[in-house]
A and B are shown apart, each in its own frame.
Chain A
Amino acid sequence: DGGITQSPKYLFRKEGQNVTLSCEQNLNHDAMYWYRQDPGQGLRLIYYSQIVNDFQKGDIAEGYSVSREKKESFPLTVTSAQKNPTAFYLCASTGTGLNTEAFFGQGTRLTVV
């Protein structure tokens, strides 16, 4: 079955460390996205990529980095520069066309300890 896989589901990080969240899709989608959710807020866009080897900052990109070396994979690194990294992170992908809905992973809950 096609879908998006995020790992790990839960992640604990010490302050000052970088961590990388994995996102893999086998839907043959060109576009992939990373969102962050905080309590009481909607999903906010961190980074997106519309094609391999290209990505763009979203609304809250500071303290994050991404890469898109393969169509299937869009890992997100939460760097030590991100001041408040504890949050729930969702990865998504979309196909072509403007009306397409997104397919989401199950999310990664990151906690800084």
Chain B
Amino acid sequence: ILNVEQSPQSLHVQEGDSTNFTCSFPSSNFYALHWYRWETAKSPEALFVMTLNGDEKKKGRISATLNTKEGYSYLYIKGSQPEDSATYLCAFHPYSGGYQKVTFGTGTKLQVIP
């Protein structure tokens, strides 16, 4: 069983603050790193699929970076808004096998306080 860790487990930020959190994964046998956003009572939705070391991806105020050599990815949210409140999941996809080999982290639960 692969070790995929996310930190912190939860955090509270004020509206307008910028924040970031971490996903750590095995640095060997890397294929892809997925980020999902999961709002309460909704389905998880894909944010980013990252495959190359040094990748940076951006969607609106949310961006992510990837370091496959040291085994981590950061997710950044600039100017947090209440609608950003959600759990953010990362999922590590090793080289061998299809999506069934993906290992999910436990998530970071973000609460943005108006």
Contact = CB atoms under 8 A, between A and B. Distances in A.
A34 B4 CA distance: 19
A43 B104 contact: yes
Nearest to A42: B104
A84 to B, nearest CB: 18
Nearest to B9: A40
Contacts of B100: 31, 33, 45, 48, 50, 56, 58
Contacts, number: 63
Nearest to A57: B100
A104 B102 CA distance: 14
Given A42-B104, A42-B107, A101-B34, A50 B46 contact: no
Interface residues of A, number: 28
B65 interface: no
A40 B99 contact: no
A100 interface: yes
Nearest to A40: B106
Q: Quick one: which of A41, A101, A106 has the most chain B CB within 10 A?
A: A101
Interface string B30-67: 01101010000111111001010000000000000000
Given A42-B4, A98-B32, A104 B43 contact: yes
A4 B32 CA distance: 24
Given A42-B104, A48-B100, A100-B99, A106 B46 contact: no
A90 B91 CA distance: 15
B99 A31 contact: yes
A40 B87 CA distance: 12
Nearest to A9: B41
Interface of A: 3-4, 31, 33, 35, 40-45, 48, 50, 56, 58-59, 90, 94, 98-107
15 contacts: A31-B98, A35-B104, A41-B106, A42-B4, A42-B107, A43-B89, A43-B104, A45-B102, A94-B98, A99-B51, A101-B34, A101-B36, A101-B46, A102-B34, A106-B41
